[in-house]
Structure 1
Amino acid sequence: MTIGVIGGSGIYEALPLENVSTKSVSTPYGEPSEDVTLGELGGKEVAFLPRHGEDHQHTPTGAGYRANIYALKSVGVDRVISTNAVGSLREELPPRTLVVPDQIYDRTKHRTPTFFGEGMVVHMSFAQPYCPEMVGHLAESAREATDADVSEDGTYVCIEGPQYSTKAESEFYREQGWDIVGMTTIPEAKLAREAELSYATVAGVTDYDVWKDDSEVSLEEVLENAEANQESINAVIEHAIRTMPEDFESEAWSALEGTINTPTDAIPSETRERVDLLAGSYLD
């Protein structure tokens, strides 16, 4: 197995990787946020990518999501552990809580959520946006590896950003029964599914968004709590990698089966070439 990790550079710096190297990957979808860092941990192969770049230079909308997922797929990754900083929409999920969500509500507007198109139509199930097996493994790892409060399941509403929510938006999200709000799980989760990667996230709560009367989210608060969450998240990632089951099975690994709606002979040759890494076995 090769386990992909997407998050901030603090994770890479904390992971005790061995036999470390970097690989520059060119993709049909542009350049990844950074080179892929490869290494070994606990006998497992690991590939790391910082979502926003090494110096956090890419916005939540501008990050190279397609290139990042494609790059991880190209180096042999079959499962991805993601990390996110999020705001809480629930009193019982205070800052510095870890959440492993199982659902997503997509409120983004300006992001490309698919590898396909251009003469190739794919309709894929996304009822369970995070791999249930990976969700369970990450939640168990969080409980075993940290003293942090851990919440398993819940809905992550993904907004466009880079601005935080208005008070009206935050209150609306709460009325819908959603649990956390962030800016980066979409389109990453959709693309991971299209690439047939098992994908889930561990999210660190940094603030109460703006719904709480005595709370007004600020970058200072977010960064302070994100730094405090980092130690816990690092411990979760390391534990999850070391204990990743060898007999792990995921429905995501065959997610493209039966989803391509365009006859193979009608798909333009340039499109087939572009998606060969992702869908080539279904187009032969």
Structure 2
Amino acid sequence: MLAIVGGTGLYELPGLEIAHRSRDTTPFGDPSGEVLRGRLGSNEVLFLARHGAGHRLLPHEVNYRANVFALKRAGATMLLGFSAVGSLALEIRPGDLAIPEQYFDWTRGQRQRTFFGGGVAAHVSTAKPVSAVLVDAVRSAAARCGLEVHRGLTYACVEGPRLGTQAESHFLRQSGCHLVGMTNVPEVFLAREAQMAYATVGLVTDYDCWLEDPSQHVNVASIFELYGSTLKKAAKVLDALLSQALPEPDAAIRSALGSAMLTPDTALTEEQKLWLDVLRR
């Protein structure tokens, strides 16, 4: 099943025929809000607003572990996120859609970034953190709508909530990054620990602040100037994606914990076994 995580501006899924709502807590705390299960197009899907109803949570305040766990527990095997991003490349223009396939973690350690620890040891490979199968499906859906989606990009995740300095923007560009945002880490890595295929559709809002023209520098007003029309593009892609049967997630991702676990099951507590069983589904 596909789980959709809505970012800035995407707090509900228009047209979703809701069959069930869940606000249950998890072993890792409370998720950002209700997990909705319903039907959209030809598929049963899950939905969760990353920042909560009314955009209450800043990026570093989101309980990413609880969000990913709640979606996995509800039956998700794939997770498609939507996020506002800044562009660090001239050819990726404000108003475009872009899918990162690599990540550069430039957060500052305030976020709980793994399910493991506290007596449960595992090291999950994230050399290729994004699902090629899911990216291909999104790109094919966009093509059916006549829309272009940039791919093969590197997303730099910064801590926020402040917007970056020009020096930071240049540093990230020189490091090979194409997009900058505040929310995809640790979400992408937790999805892998939960054996869920992951991809994000980035809604490009601005050129961050690396250009010399101050009128091009990111601010909250500029983020929303094009956002409505870009969000409509993303909604078209999602509708096209869900109008057909979804692909099966990558087999290697669905078995990622098979070679990652170090702690034997015999050394786990009953509580640890319960949440680990959810990740292993």
| Distance (Å, rounded) in 2 between the aligned partners of 1:51 and 1:91 | 28
Matched, 1:165 2:178: no
Percent of residue pairs identical: 38
Large movers: runs of 4+ above 6 Å: none
Question: How many Å separate the matches in 2 of 1:103 and 1:199?
Answer: 11
Q: Which residue of structure 2 aligns with residue 93 of structure 1?
A: 92
Q: How much has 1:153 moved relative to structure 2?
A: 1.4
For structure 2, the 5+ residue unaligned runs are none
1:61·1:111 contact (CA, 8 Å) conserved in 2?
yes
Note if 1:189 corresponds to 2:194.
no
User: 3-state SS of the aligned residue for 1:102?
Assistant: strand
One-letter amino acid matched to 1:118 = G
CA contact (8 A) 1:81 1:237 kept: no
Separation in 1, partners of 2:53, 2:160: 20
Equivalences for residues 55-74 of structure 1 within 5 A: 55-74=54-73
1:186 is paired with a residue whose SS is helix
Gaps of 5+ in 1: none
Rounded to whole Å, the distance in 2 between the matches of 1:174 and 1:137 is 28
- 1:200-219 aligned at under 5 Å gives the runs 200-214=199-213, 215-219=216-220
- Do 1:131 and 1:250's aligned partners in 2 also have CA atoms closer than 8 Å? no
Query: Aligned letter for 1:226?
Result: Y
The answer for the alignment partner of 2:231 in structure 1 is 230
The separation in 2 between residues aligned to 1:9 and 1:101, in whole angstroms, is 17
Determine helix, strand or coil for the equivalent of 1:154.
strand
- More moved, 242-251 vs 53-62: 242-251
Kindly provide the amino acid, as one letter, of the partner of residue 267 in structure 1: L
Q: How does 1:1-284 map to 2 (within 5 A)?
A: 2-8=1-7, 11=10, 13-109=12-108, 110-147=110-147, 149-214=148-213, 215-279=216-280
- Segment of structure 1 superposing worse, 12-21 or 46-55: 12-21
Residues 210-251 of structure 1: per-residue CA shift (max 9 Å, x gap): 101112211000122222211011111121122343555442
Q: Distance in 1 between matches of 2:153 and 2:245?
A: 23
The residue type paired with residue 219 of structure 1 is V
Contact persistence 1:17–1:40 (CA under 8 A): yes
Normalising by structure 2, what TM-score? 0.93
Rounded to whole Å, the distance in 1 between the matches of 2:181 and 2:104 is: 10
**TM-score normalized with structure 1 length:** 0.92
Q: Give the CA deviation at 1:137.
A: 1.2
